[in-house]
Amino acid sequence: MSLQRQENSQSLIKTLVVLFISLVAISFFLNLTSSYFQVKYWKARSNMPKIRQIPPFSFVRSDGVTITANDLKGKIWVADLIYTHCPGPCSTETLRMSQLQSILGKIEGVRLVSISIDPEEDSGAVLRKYAEGYHADPSFWFFVTGKPQEVQDFVVKGLALGMGENPKDKVQAEGKFFHSTQFVLIDQDGFIRKYYDGLNQKTPRDISIDILLLLQESSKTNKGT
């Protein structure tokens, strides 16, 4: 091998070594940066302050069983507002809850609660039929209602969501009621931790992630006591 070819070969080897080291360094940097942003993301994600504590309530499930705040104590639950003859967003909300039920797979210690804001129309039988249309598991996903004023007080003062009756000229087009389409995440101690857009396709995924974070938070708390 000539001297020139030997030098060229050595130069190529050096170049390849430098390139390899550079690639390793870049890969390490990218992994480090990715890890940093992942940690930052999960820290931000797990920052769910206790917004407010819900007041006591007493509603009736579609199966006729009375359910109170004490019955849900120790459980993480997600609440939304619907009424079965709603011509607007209720069907989309209920679809999102159905998707959430599928994702969660009936995790113990978690419940879904859909609150009918029209108790005069939504009897137990009506709510059961509505729930069956979305394959709701009655042991996991509750459809509840109560006395009109009690429902409104809980929704407005407890969950801090808007609702009310539509003017007569809007009933045909928009339904009997207007109401918030927000989903509410409530922790084991009855504190509201987060609100979500109940019409957004990403909401079931986002809520399921936050529920797992709350379960992890609870597990760490219990280990520390």
Q: How confident is the model at residue 44 (pLDDT cuts 50, 70, 90)?
A: low
Please write down the HEC assignment for all residues of the chain: CCHHHHHHHHHHHHHHHHHHHHHHHHHHHHHHHHHHHHHHHHHHHCCCCCCEECCCCEEEECCCCEEEHHHHCCCEEEEEEECCCCCCCHHHHHHHHHHHHHHHCCCCCEEEEEEECCCCCCCHHHHHHHHHCCCCCCCCEEEEECCHHHHHHHHHHHCCCCEEECCHHHHHHHCCEEECCEEEEECCCCEEEEEEECCCCCHHHHHHHHHHHHHHHHHHHHHHC
pLDDT tens column, 156-188: 999 999 999 988 888 877 788 999 999 999 999
pLDDT of residue 8: 52
86 marked among binding-site residues: yes
pLDDT of residue 18: 56
pLDDT of residue 39: 43
pLDDT of residue 74: 95
pLDDT tens column, 86-127: 998 999 999 999 999 999 987 889 999 999 999 999 999 999
Q: Is the pLDDT of residue 137 over 80?
A: yes
Residue-averaged pLDDT of the chain: 85
Question: Between these two residues, 170 and 53, which has the higher pLDDT value?
Answer: 53
